[in-house]
Structure formats: structure tokens, C-alpha cells
């Protein structure tokens, strides 16, 4: 593994830890319901799809539930 690959891997891990830390403030059931509403609305709105890509929303639910669900 090159030093650049290691650098990117460490950046990804740091980002994931920060995301989980921020999302842990919310109850997983409430958060999943809130995000599900955004996903449902995004099917009718191209602007919402651009602002909140579906895979980002699903990963945020996963990060919120990690270790709790």
C-alpha cells in the first residue's frame, strides 16, 4: 500500500468517526424515520436528490445505528 493510499484510508476513517460522533446524538429510531421522509420526498424532487444523494442518507442511518441497533 502506498503512502497516498494510507493517507486516504486514514482520512476516510477520521471522517467516519466524526460522522458517527455527530449522529450518535439522535435516537436511531427517530433519525431513521426523519431520513426516510427525506428519501421519500427525494423521489419527486431532483433538487433533493442532488442535495442528499440516496447512498449518503443510507450511510448516515447506518452510522447512527452502528452499535445500537
Residue 64, classified by CB atoms within 10 Å of its CB into exposed (0-12), middle (13-18) or buried (19+), is: buried
Query: What is the reported pLDDT for 67?
Result: 61
Query: What is the reported pLDDT for 35?
Result: 93
Q: In which domain, by residue range, is 55 found?
A: 3-65
Cα separation, 65 vs 69, in Å, equals 5
Number of domains in the chain: 1
Contact at 8 Å (CB) between 41 and 11? no
Summarize pLDDT for 20-64 with one digit per residue, the tens: 777 778 888 899 999 999 999 999 999 989 998 999 999 888 888
Cα separation, 62 vs 53, in Å, equals 15
Cα separation, 40 vs 55, in Å, equals 13
Amino acid at each position: 500500500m502506498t503512502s497516498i493510499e494510507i493517507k486516504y484510508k486514514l482520512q476516510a476513517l477520521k471522517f467516519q468517526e466524526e460522522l458517527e460522533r455527530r449522529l450518535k446524538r439522535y435516537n436511531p429510531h427517530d433519525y431513521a424515520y426523519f431520513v426516510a421522509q427525506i428519501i421519500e420526498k427525494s423521489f419527486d424532487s431532483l433538487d433533493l436528490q442532488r442535495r442528499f444523494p440516496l447512498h449518503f442518507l443510507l450511510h448516515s442511518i447506518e452510522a447512527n445505528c452502528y452499535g445500537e441497533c
